[in-house]
Amino acid sequence: MNACTMPAMCGEGNGSLPSCAPLSIPYVPFQETGSKRYDQREALQNGTLFPGLDLPFHLKAEPGKIANGPMAELQALEFVLVELGEYLDTHQDDTEAFQLYQKYAALEEEGRERYEAMYGPLQQVSAANGTNWAQWLSDPWPWNYKGKE
């Protein structure tokens, strides 16, 4: 029985591992299809979309200390896209996850456009949509904006 056909035996925090894995050969177990998912807020607080990847060595932000505002919203959307993208790399046939990816990609694009309309370009390539290159070089930079956020 290979790793892809083994039934899940260890629960949400463990992937499948062949029973006869050789010594000194690294093996990364596959995340099971249909894994539980945190809601948006919990995923941002825990640093992962998947409870099975919520490992004890990661420091978690206290829920009340997570920043709010347009930049935090954009970072949260980008975080979800990275998590779903990594999942989809090994689960290409998960149509529900792909639909979620498409949904969050559209939300991220809207959020980025909204942020850039308020504060200026986030990346050099964003300047291509502006009126001149100086928009990119103008302060404040996205990471040191001290305004309303």
| Residue 16 confidence (pLDDT) | 65
User: Are 86 and 43 in contact, with CB atoms under 8 Å apart?
Assistant: no
| Residue 58 confidence (pLDDT) | 46
Instruction: For 50-86, write each residue's pLDDT tens digit.
Output: 888 877 654 555 655 556 778 888 888 999 999 999 9
| Residue 64 confidence (pLDDT) | 57
| Residue 46 confidence (pLDDT) | 78
pLDDT at residue 41 is higher than 70: yes
Does the pTM exceed 0.75?
A: no
- Calculate mean pLDDT across residues 31-59: 78
Q: Alpha-carbon distance 21 to 29, whole Å?
A: 11
Structure tokens belonging to residue 58 = 């990661």
Instruction: For 133-142, write each residue's pLDDT tens digit.
Output: 777 777 666 5
CA nearest to 76, candidates 113, 102, 39:
39
| Residue 98 confidence (pLDDT) | 94
Place of tokens 């050969």: 25
User: Are 74 and 105 in contact, with CB atoms under 8 Å apart?
Assistant: no
- More confident call, 42 vs 145: 42
- How high is the mean pLDDT of the chain? 75
